[in-house]
Amino acid sequence: MNNFWRYLALAFVLFVAALAFIAVRNWDTVSLAWDNATALQEGRQEAANIQTPDALAEYLGNHPEKVSLAVLSASGEVKDTVHATVDRPLHRLPMIALLTDASRMMDEGALDSTEQIPISEIGRFALPGLTASGHERMVDSLSVSGAIHDGAIALGDLFEAIHIFENQAAADWLMMRMGRDAMTSLPDRLSLSGSMAPQPYSATYLTWMQAVRDSSAGKRPPVDSFLGMEARAYRDRVYSIADRLSSDGAYRTEKKEELTTRGTDLSVRQQRDYAMATLPRGTALDYARLMANIRSTPGDGWPRLRSVLERPVGSTDRLTTAAGADTLRPDTMDVAFDAASVRVVADVAGAHPGMLTLAGYARTNADDRARVVVLTLHDLPIAVFYQLAQTGIDKGLFLELLLDEQATQRFMRTVDHGNDESAPTR
């Protein structure tokens, strides 16, 4: 019996030693998994308390620095704001600015909507684990529908697919096709005076990966690689990488193979922190005014864009995200919703760790009641972010703000921000 316990103890020691050996050999993977696990504890109690749109409003009332809101009338009159002129890092809205300008260029003939674009060209920017998922969904779906045939897609169909599938790889292709100069001047053309131009997603994410790898090699802490860098210098780096992805096959293959075999090495907190430091910045008011223009302006590409964004709403319809998946029926979130009076809703939704974006407008039978809303949440604790991303409670709040004036006024009273437009941001 003594030998049994001796052998059992020896086996246990060997087992622990084997685990330690594996952990040391795969330390980056183990530490990444541990960091992600601990990140889910960040804001856990607050997340558990957020079960309704009203509870989310209460949370934002306690953390008003995390929210930006702009509510406009159908005519573009500013109705209600919370930090609406504070520039924040934005994840999804710059894509709408890109599509707005591309729509105008197609109507003017500067871009040919019938031009056949090889899928292989777009795929150059489809990076595994980063920008590939939306591209793969597009290819799978449109190959079945016939919009993709003989390995190509019409530019007009690609324009729609960028929004429908949130295809960041295709957005990158379009940015590079339109050119950096056009991107740089885009905010001026669209009157986005407080906002920055879109920048290629794939190349942005690769700068994050390089920062992590530099840190692992004993260089500067990763976020420090970006803080203090001039915006133009950072954009130079991003466009240099995007150029290589487009033109250098060996570089592109190397990066895709690296991502396939090793992954991104980005923890969920790093993704949040890098996004806060490097994504194009903009204001809720700028994008609310852009959405108001999309809603109401005739000619020059606006109707084309409206046809992509808008969807009719009926008594049994669900409001949908841009990806076309069912999200929320307003009654499931206790949203005051008169289906007979609301004819059309256009909505744009985006999520990135720590950040949520919701923008849209409604068309109603009484247009004096119709509104435009942009709601963005920033620097959220990871547990709070996942609670909202998984439940759609943020969408419930957005629908209240879009469709219910009384709910908007309750929100404004809850988020007692003192009209402080210089709230601290990261």
d(CA 288, CA 292): 6
Q: List strand residue ranges (DSSP E) for 74-211, in order.
A: 78-82, 88-89, 116-118, 148-149, 152-154
What pLDDT is recorded for position 169?
97
What pLDDT is recorded for position 61?
94
- pLDDT interval class at 301 (50, 70, 90): low
What pLDDT is recorded for position 17?
52
Residue-wise pLDDT tens digits, 157-172: 999 999 999 999 999 9
Tell me which amino acid residue 47 is. Answer: A
What pLDDT is recorded for position 48?
92
What pLDDT is recorded for position 268?
86
Most trustworthy range by pLDDT among 13-22, 47-56, 265-274, 410-419: 47-56
Q: Is the pLDDT of residue 41 over 80?
A: no
Residue-wise pLDDT tens digits, 145-156: 999 999 999 999
Q: Is the pLDDT of residue 366 over 80?
A: no
Averaged pLDDT for residues 9-31 = 50
d(CA 250, CA 124): 11
What pLDDT is recorded for position 213?
79
What pLDDT is recorded for position 370?
76
d(CA 408, CA 71): 9
Q: Is the pLDDT of residue 186 over 90?
A: yes
Domain boundaries, the chain: 45-90+282-414, 110-279
CB within 8 Å of 315: residues ≥ 6 apart: 339, 340
List b or e across 18-43, with b for residues whose CB sees 16 or more CB atoms inside 10 angstroms: eeeeeeeeeeeeeebeeeeeebeebb
Averaged pLDDT for residues 186-212 = 92
CB neighbours of residue 390 within 10 Å: 9
HSE of 285, CA atoms in CB hemisphere, 13 A: 14
Q: What is the mean pLDDT of the chain?
A: 83
| Angle, CA of 422, 290 and 53, to the nearest 5° | 65
What pLDDT is recorded for position 76?
86
Q: Is the pLDDT of residue 135 over 90?
A: yes
- Which pTM value belongs to this model? 0.84
CB within 8 Å of 153: residues ≥ 6 apart: 116, 117, 119, 122, 142, 147, 161
d(CA 114, CA 154): 5
The answer to whether residues 384 and 84 touch, using CB atoms and an 8 Å cutoff, is no
Encoding tokens for residue 192?
Answer: 């986005």
SS3 397: helix
Query: What does DSSP say about strands 310-312 and 342-352: parallel, antiparallel, or unpaired?
Result: antiparallel
In angstroms, the first-to-last Cα distance of the chain is: 64
What pLDDT is recorded for position 388?
94
What pLDDT is recorded for position 368?
60
- pLDDT interval class at 138 (50, 70, 90): very high
Higher pLDDT, 32 or 139: 139
CB within 8 Å of 382: residues ≥ 6 apart: 39, 40, 42, 43, 268, 269, 272, 353, 354
What pLDDT is recorded for position 424?
45
CB neighbours of residue 381 within 10 Å: 23
**Cα 204 to the center of its chain, rounded Å:** 13
Averaged pLDDT for residues 67-78 = 92
- pLDDT interval class at 296 (50, 70, 90): confident
Write the burial class of residue 188 (CB in 10 Å: 0-12 exposed, 13-18 middle, 19+ buried).
exposed
Which among 362, 334, 360 has a CA at the least distance from the CA of 349?
360
Which among 311, 132, 156 has a CA at the least distance from the CA of 205?
132
Least confident of 65-74, 304-313, 337-346, 386-395: 337-346
Higher pLDDT, 292 or 16: 292
Q: Is the pLDDT of residue 333 over 90?
A: no
Least confident of 290-299, 309-318, 362-371, 374-383: 309-318
